[in-house]
Structure 1
Amino acid sequence: MSETKQPWTQPMPEQQFELMREILDAPSPVGIEGAMTYGVLKPYFESFAPKDWHLHQFKGHAGVVLDTHPGRDDLFKVMIVGHADKIRMQVRSIGEDGKIWINTDSFLPTVLIGHEVKLFSEDPDNPGNYRVIQGGTVEALGAIHFSDPSVRTGDKGIKKEQIYLDLQIHGDNKKQQVENLGVRPGDAILLDRPIRPGFSPNTFYGAYLDNGLGCFVTAEIARLIAEAGGTQQVRVMFAIASYEEIGRFGSRVLAGELEPDVLIGVDVNHDYVAAPGIGDRRMQPLEMGKGFTMSVGAIASEQLNRLIETTAKEHEIPMQRDIVGIDTGTDGMAGVLAAIDCAATSIGFPIRNMHTISEAGNTQDVMAAIYALTYTLQALDGMADPHRQFLDNHPRLDQANSLAHQGSDKPDEEKTYDDH
């Protein structure tokens, strides 16, 4: 494949970007993920899936799994997992002055102030039916004139207990006005900002890249595999999980139900190079625009990583190694959390401003992940016996070769010699 035709080196096609926007914009707060899974992804899966593929649905959550070989437990099973649930705010109580006091979940309180949101309220008189309220903003202090001097200078911050939703309620019986809308404690609130192209080439920004991007990547891999004629000896399960943001509970259920031999979590990662104020932490230099990331450490399988890295090098797909400690922090942990014997790892793409309304990413990193995993699945499908490959080829550090000093020349440095 010539460089000019490699999708991960080109701008993302507009139609594909619109699909990504639609997936990321679906209102799918933790526990109510059906807008993304059933509203967007299920119809998309059904638009290209061969007739013999099967879409698994579940009783306890709105996750879905597109299965290339339903019932074929004799085949080598690979599960690729993105999670549809978004961090959200929730109504905590309603004040006499019409303020709607809210919980901030996994947001920093200071990143919320002034932003527009959507409040999704279940109809008290018709349970199971939801209404959406738009036009409100998240507030904490009102105006700088009313804030403590230490907050003005930045010496003190905003406490999560100070955060409220302002619906501009005024007049008589302010609390009653809110209650008449049917707003109740527990109602979900989401930031209101769909993604849009960024200023710099191949960038985009908006809310909830975490983790509609992982779902988009999973869906596009499924499409590419379907268009290539499917797989022969590998059963692939394209999973869209729930509950990741509260402890990876949804993906462990999917792993427990379907028992994959390989599990790959797909989730956003951090652009540590651009992250402010962390230079003294000596983080690995992951950077937006430099390719997809692959987790090394924790439960990440060295055999699986070897295959992904080899495949990426073969196709000249840019990849960055992400160092993780005791936990990948993603659905890559689902297998061990479900007590399933599977080789696992986590794949991602560096983004900026995670868990804010202005998360930013690079389309070429996303495309790199899509094609690296697609080619990895095809490489697995080409193995003579994937089961034995993973059973018999665990790394042996006791067989490591001795390595001597290699000098100071840079390997990629062009050497010039004196002709005389």
Structure 2
Amino acid sequence: MSESKKPWNQSMPDEQFNLMRDIIAAPSPVGLEAAMTYGVLKPYFEKIAKDGWKVQQFKGSAGIVLDTHPGRDDMFSVMIIGHADKIRMQVRSIGEDGKIWINTDSFLPTTLIGHEVKLFSEDPEKPGSYRVIEGGTVEALGAIHFADAGLRSGDKGIKKEQIYLELQIHGENKKEQVEKLGIRSGDSIILNRPIKRGFSPDTFYGAYLDNGLGCFVTAETARLVAEAGGTDNIRLLFAIASYEEIGRFGSRVMVGEMKPDAIIAVDVNHDYVAAPGIGDKRFTPLEMGKGFTMSVGSIASERLNRFIETAALENDIPLQRDVCGRDTGTDGMAGVLASVDAAATSIGFPTRNMHTISEVGNTSDVLASIHVITLALQAMDAADDGKGSLRAEFENNHPRLDEAVSLGHQGGDKKED
């Protein structure tokens, strides 16, 4: 493949970037994911789908699956999973002074202060109908003038119980003013920061790369597969899951229902090289802009990784190996958690400042993941004869370390260019 035809070495086109922004911007807090799945991704799936493909829906959550061969349980099937749910804050209680005290969920309290948010409130008189309130900010202390010396110096931190939403309420009956809006305990609050292109080349920043980014990659992989004519011998399940942030519950339901033979989770990863204060912990040196990441470890399928790594090597797509140990930390664990026999791995892209309003990613890593997954799926389709050969290959080709060849010392000479 010529250099000019390697999208992962090019800047992401505006049209594709805008789709990525729209997917990530969809308000989809945990348990309320339909804005992303039904509002953005389902129409996109229906637009790109080939004849005969079908969008599967579920009763207990707003997750969806684009199925290339509905009903063909005899085919070798691969599920590619991104998760639509975002971590959220929730209203805890309303104070007499009009402060809306909130739970911070999976955010560090100190990263929230001063940032604009959206509050989504269900109409108390019309259950199922939601309203949105904008213009509020997250606060904890007010002015620096009221903070004690330890907080001013940074010696003391902010507790999650101190976090509240400031809606600029004033005048008489402040609590009643808030209550008249229909705001109630449990209402969802999310950060209001759509992604933008960054200062450095091919970067972007904003809130909720975790994991609208994985959903974007899943959707774009589906598009490339469709544009190439689909698959003949394997069934692809492009899944957008829910509930990942609270235990990966949505993907395990999908896997339990559809029982794929292989699972490729797509989720954000960490730029450990840039992460402050962890150098002495000696994490795998994953770095933004150096390519997609592939999980290796106890739970990751060596055979499935072989298809992905081969596609990367043959097409000069930059790859970084991510040590996952006994848990990928992603929906790649869905097969294990659902007790389904599936080969699994996880593909990602290093990001910075995860679970903040200023997460950072690199479009080249994202494009690399889209194309390597597409190429790996096409290689798997070519490797299957339509009669169960690929399933047999996975069953019969687990690595045999007792057959490992001896490796001797290679000497002290430098590796040749």
Query: How do 1:239-258 residues align onto structure 2 when only pairs under 5 Å count?
Result: 239-258=239-258
More divergent stretch after superposition (369-378 vs 297-306)? 297-306
How far off is 1:148 after superposition? 1.6
Query: Where does residue 397 of structure 1 map in the other structure?
Result: 401
What is the alpha-carbon distance in structure 1 between the residues aligned to residue 65 and residue 304 of structure 2?
21
Q: Offset of 1:334 from its aligned partner? A: 0.3
Match of 2:383, SS state, is coil
Q: Is the 8 A contact 2:299 2:325 kept in 1?
A: no
Alignment correspondent of 2:50: 50
Cross-structure match for 2:295: 295
Mean Cα deviation higher: 300-309 or 29-38: 300-309
Q: What CA RMSD, in Å, does the superposition of the two structures yield over aligned residues?
A: 0.6
Please name the residue that 1:70 is paired with. Answer: 70
Q: Gapped runs of 5+ residues in structure 1?
A: 414-420
Match of 2:153 in 1: 153
CA distance in 2, matches of 1:412, 1:221: 36
Letter aligned with residue 405 of structure 1: H
Describe the superposition over 1:144-187 as per-residue Cα deviations: whole angstroms up to 9, x where unpaired: 11112111111110000000000000000000000000000000
Distance (Å, rounded) in 2 between the aligned partners of 1:109 and 1:271: 21
Q: Distance in 2 between matches of 1:47 and 1:54?
A: 11
Superposition pairs for residues 135-146 of structure 1, below 5 Å? 135-146=135-146
Q: Where does residue 105 of structure 1 map in the other structure?
A: 105
Q: Which amino acid aligns with 2:195?
A: I
Inter-partner Cα distance in structure 1 for 2:327 and 2:225: 30
Q: Does structure 1 residue 363 correspond to structure 2 residue 363?
A: yes
Residue of structure 2 in register with 1:197 after alignment: 197
SS at match of 2:92: strand
Matched position secondary structure for 1:290: coil
Query: Partners of 2:192 and 2:14 in 1: how far apart?
Result: 22
TM-score, normalising length: structure 2? 0.98
Tell me the equivalent position of 1:219.
219
Q: 2:38 corresponds to which residue?
A: 38
Mapped to 2, the partners of 1:207 and 1:152 lie a distance apart of: 27
Q: How far apart are 1:374 and its partner, in Å?
A: 0.1
Q: Secondary structure at the match of 2:135?
A: strand
Residue 374 in structure 1 maps to residue 357 in structure 2: no
After the TM superposition, which of the residue ranges 322-331 and 33-42 deviates more from structure 2?
A: 322-331
Aligned to 1:264: 264
1:15 equivalent in structure 2: 15
2: CA distance between counterparts of 1:298 and 1:403? 23
- The residue type paired with residue 364 of structure 1 is S
- Note the residue ranges of structure 2 that are not aligned, 5 or more in a row: none
Instruction: Check conservation: 1:195, 1:206, Cα contact below 8 A.
Output: yes
Counterparts of 2:181 and 2:79, CA distance in 1: 43
State the alpha-carbon separation in 2 of the partners of residues 134 and 403 from structure 1: 63
Q: Which position in structure 1 is the counterpart of 2:392?
A: 388
CA shift for structure 1 position 325: 2.1
Instruction: Describe the superposition over 1:189-244 as per-residue Cα deviations: whole angstroms up to 9, x where unpaired.
Output: 00000000000000000000000000000000000001110000100000000000
Report how many residues are paired.
413
- Cα distance in structure 2, aligned partners of 1:175 and 1:330: 41
Q: What's the CA shift for 1:324?
A: 1.1
Partner of 1:416: none
Give, in whole Å, the separation in 1 of the partners of 2:198 and 2:206. 9
- Between the aligned partners of 1:179 and 1:277, the Cα distance in structure 2 is 43
The equivalent of 1:93 in structure 2 is: 93
Which residue type is aligned with residue 49 of structure 1? A
Query: How far did 1:127 drift?
Result: 0.6
Give the residue type in structure 2 aligned to 1:167.
L
> When the two structures are superposed, what TM-score results if normalisation uses the length of structure 1?
0.98
In structure 2, distance between residues paired with 1:335 and 1:367: 26
Deviations 1:98-143 (A, max 9, x none): 0000000000000000000000000000010000000000000001
- Taking the aligned partners of 1:36 and 1:409, their CA distance within structure 2 comes to 54
SS of residue matched to 2:20: helix
Return the offset for 1:356.
Answer: 0.1
Could you tell me how far apart the structure 2 residues matched to 1:51 and 1:57 are?
Answer: 18
1:387 maps to amino acid: R
SS at structure 2 position matched to 1:382 = helix
Q: Which amino acid aligns with 1:403?
A: L
Give the aligned residue type for 1:310.
T
Query: Aligned pair 1:406/2:381, yes or no?
Result: no
SS at 1:127 equivalent: coil
Is residue 298–residue 328 contact of structure 1 (8 Å, CA) maintained in 2?
A: no
